[in-house]
A and B are shown apart, each in its own frame.
Chain A
Amino acid sequence: MTREQVWEYAPAPESRDVARLKPAYRMFVDGEFVDGTGEPLKTVNPATEEVLAEVGTASPADVDRAVRAARRAHDRMWGRMPGAERAKYLFRIARLVQERARELAVLETLDNGKPIRESRDVDVPLVAAHFFHHAGWADKLAYAGYGPDPRPLGVAGQVIPWNFPLLMAAWKIAPALACGNTVVLKPAETTPLSALVLAEICQQADLPPGVVNIVPGAGDVGAELVNHPGVNKVAFTGSTEVGKLIQRAVAGTGKKLTLELGGKAANVVFDDAPLDQAVEGIVNGIFFNQGHVCCAGSRLLVQESVADELLETLRRRVSTLRVGDPLDKNTDVGAINSAEQLARIRELAESGDAEGARRWTSPCPLPDKGFFFAPTVFSEVQQSMRIAREEIFGPVLAVLTFRTPDEAVAKANNTPYGLSAGIWTEKGSRILWMAQRLRAGVVWANTFNRFDPSAPFGGYRESGFGREGGRAGLEAYLDV
């Protein structure tokens, strides 16, 4: 047996040179990279804690300049350009993203900490797909069901999170541009790099100046942007707490708003589920992107009759997850994005211990440096515990059980959030029955965390409102 057990996969790191990392990055306004007058920030590789680059940030005056540039671009050109012409730019951006896919994937992994396998196979391909999809819409808006000649809103102020930095930029920019809006986008403070390379791609695609503006910075820059009177539309993806602040700020201003906020999704497994694939779906639901996913399946609801069997298989499967260097092609779970986030995950996990849940942690080795948290499964969790109610946003799964479908629905819906849910059963009628009753914007059946630009994504209740993707997603960027 000794010989059999020594198959250690040799390190297979992707080369970091591919990212063409620069010592300094600047904000992108009116078609040019310019020095921001805000306090520069340093962005860190969460897997090693080394500083990757210095990034210039926007001051209130810079935000104003960006919004004015976007206004000019919208009024003089982009807003009146025929859809077929706008489409050409979007197709070009999509192709450039594909051409520079490897560079973008490595850069994303360096800045965010997510495994290269995911940035390479999920994030970047989806970014290209979103641009392709919306390029196709640009000249067909009259057929989208929003009237014969739907008009753009104007300037969109967009604030995005750090969990999918480039993908969220694509989800925001592609539909806005397709509909004839111009954008000012603020990437997250800890992950500004890929959005700035996307700006480079916009330049490369000859996108007219001012159509896309990127203003890096912290929350104050976001607030400045959201509150700017020149903005017609605000789109925010991030925490429910900040979402509420934005909704208050925007109330009464006439600005159109969409919010994509937190979640505490239930992944419901019935006893007639395809159990092996359900285990895969549970793993993908909570450990994909280290659990930094607003629609993560962070609550597993499993029918009591299969709970023990499923949990045992799940633990064995989770033990095979490879945690470590995000640049290694064989890494399944990468680094937690920041020290703050790691502290929050630890704090919530400790509350699980204190409240009497049973903690199981994957025996995987963790790197000495960087921000890492081993995949963790809490069983014997009750609805009343914090780990079942609060969004952890990390690789921590809370397992609850149920006896009947009604109980599953009641527990699944017992959260102020309403973003996503999963149903696992081989019984088609039960899938439909559940889907009608689950209060979630996205319901997956026998899969989880699957995304496609043609499928609208978004939540309700405290998970926000508005849809991104598909025909429904266009509404957020049209004057309807």
Chain B
Amino acid sequence: MAALSTGTAAGERETPAPRPSPLPPDLADATRDESTLRRFLHGLPGVDAVGLEQRAAALATRSIKKAAKLWAIDTAIGMVDLTTLEGADTPGKVRALAAKARRPDPARPEVPSVAAVCVYPDLVDTAVAELRGTGIGVASVATAFPSGRSGLRVKVADTELAVEAGASEVDMVIDRGAFLSGRYGRVFDEIVTIRRACRGAHLKVILETGELATYDNVRRASWLALLAGADFVKTSTGKVSPAATLPVTHVMLQAVRDWYDRTGTPRGVKPAGGIRTTKDAIRYLVAVHEVAGPRWLSPKLFRFGASSLLNDLLMQRRTQLSGHYSGPDYVAVD
């Protein structure tokens, strides 16, 4: 797939990451130029907000108990991208997080480790050193996170910094200004360029759905990101409210499912921001299960971007096994 316009500066010298399979002709056609892309995105079926929210609310009433709940908790733990994205982050803080990621519950070694640790680019080397050989990914936000308001050169350099320091996953933000003003080609090119700069690192594309405002936009942005080669579509930076919501995640799950039906390639979804409790996490897993399908119940295709969620999962896990609540002092605070 070629970038829509030329002159992608720094990104150009990178070798493109191999795509798993060529796009079917109709989708390849959609990315031919700016106008075909616009026509494709605006030709997607609309999303009816009332119906979507009703469906999301109905699925949220599923009652997950006993073995099903325990399975969900362990699965959710294994899907957490344990995140710290503060101005005050230090190597010490990242080391603490990495320790937690490796062994979330020291009293119960059978608890799975999390999927990845997610940090700013300058702290990637610390995380990489802490997590070497554990199989836990190191994700780095990039591209002038969280606003995305910078030039492409800076965004590429930001990405390269993370990748060179050893990040295995890159969480980029899209240019919401360009998207909202209808410059889809620019957003597309940027994703393609960053994808090249990733040099094989897993690419998650943050749509910042709280700024896209409508579900129609969320659907279009999801397809745009998938067409440009995103491995994952991610809801939010966590810096904008509203962050992840169930209805928005439904739209994105539906997009990856439709993508799979048309291309045969599964892509992932990552809701991030605002998911704090086990109950929330299970509602998301039910949506994954029933909207996208059982195949997506895997850290390869679904992640939670969260920090405090992990502790609640651990507390609920203990409660499930012991039959009583322990309390926040029995899990490690980071």
Instruction: Show the binding face of A for B, using Cβ within 8 Å.
Output: 1, 3-12, 117, 121, 272-278, 280-281, 320, 329-330, 426, 446-447
Contacts and interface: CB of A to CB of B under 8 A. Distances in A.
Contacts of B64: 9-10, 12
A5 B51 contact: no
B38 to A, nearest CB: 17
B67 to A, nearest CB: 5
A206 to B, nearest CB: 35
A277 B61 contact: no
Contacts of A278: 48, 51
B47 A276 contact: yes
Contacts of B172: none
A10 B295 contact: no
Nearest to A8: B68
The 5 residue pairs across chains A and B that have the minimum distance between CB atoms: A277-B51, A12-B63, A274-B48, A277-B48, A329-B63
Given A5-B294, A121-B61, A446 B45 contact: no
A426 B44 CA distance: 12
Contacts of B50: 277, 446-447
Interface string B63-99: 1111111011001000000000000000000000000
B183 interface: no
Interface of B: 45-48, 50-52, 54-55, 58, 61-69, 71-72, 75, 254, 285, 289-290, 294-298
A11 B71 CA distance: 14
Contacts of B69: 10
A320 B290 contact: yes
9 contacts: A4-B294, A6-B71, A10-B65, A273-B46, A274-B46, A278-B51, A280-B55, A281-B51, A426-B46
B51 A4 contact: no
Given A9-B64, A10-B65, A277 B71 contact: no
A277 B68 contact: no
A274 B68 contact: no
Nearest to A424: B48
Nearest to A276: B254
Given A117-B58, A281-B51, 17 more contacts: A1-B295, A4-B294, A7-B289, A10-B64, A10-B69, A12-B63, A121-B58, A272-B46, A275-B45, A276-B52, A277-B50, A277-B51, A277-B52, A278-B48, A280-B55, A446-B48, A446-B51
B316 to A, nearest CB: 15
B162 to A, nearest CB: 30
B260 to A, nearest CB: 12
A350 B319 CA distance: 51
B47 A274 contact: yes
B72 A276 contact: no
Contacts of A121: 58, 61
Given A275-B45, A281-B51, A9 B62 contact: yes
Contacts of A7: 68, 71-72, 75, 285, 289, 294, 297
Contacts of B66: 10
A223 to B, nearest CB: 40
Contacts of A273: 45-46
A8 B254 CA distance: 21
Contacts of A3: 298
Contacts of B297: 4, 7
A274 B51 contact: yes
A447 B61 contact: no
Contacts of B63: 9, 12, 329-330
A280 B51 contact: yes
Contact of A277 (B55, B62, B289, B298): B55
A276 B287 CA distance: 14
Contacts of A426: 46, 48
A4 B266 CA distance: 14
Contacts of A6: 71
A121 B61 CA distance: 10
B67 A10 contact: yes
B298 A274 contact: no
B215 to A, nearest CB: 9
Contacts of B48: 274, 277-278, 426, 446-447
Given A275-B45, A276-B45, A4 B298 contact: yes
Nearest to B66: A10
A426 B47 CA distance: 9
B47 A117 contact: no
A277 B68 CA distance: 28
Contacts of B62: 9, 329-330
Contacts of A275: 45
A1 B45 CA distance: 31
A6 B52 CA distance: 27
Nearest to A275: B45
A120 to B, nearest CB: 9
A274 B45 contact: yes
Nearest to A283: B55
Contacts of B55: 277, 280
A191 to B, nearest CB: 24
A277 B47 contact: yes
A469 to B, nearest CB: 20
A329 B52 CA distance: 21
A277 B67 CA distance: 32
Contacts of A9: 62-65, 68
A81 to B, nearest CB: 40
Nearest to B51: A277
Given A4-B297, A7-B289, A12 B65 contact: yes
B132 to A, nearest CB: 26
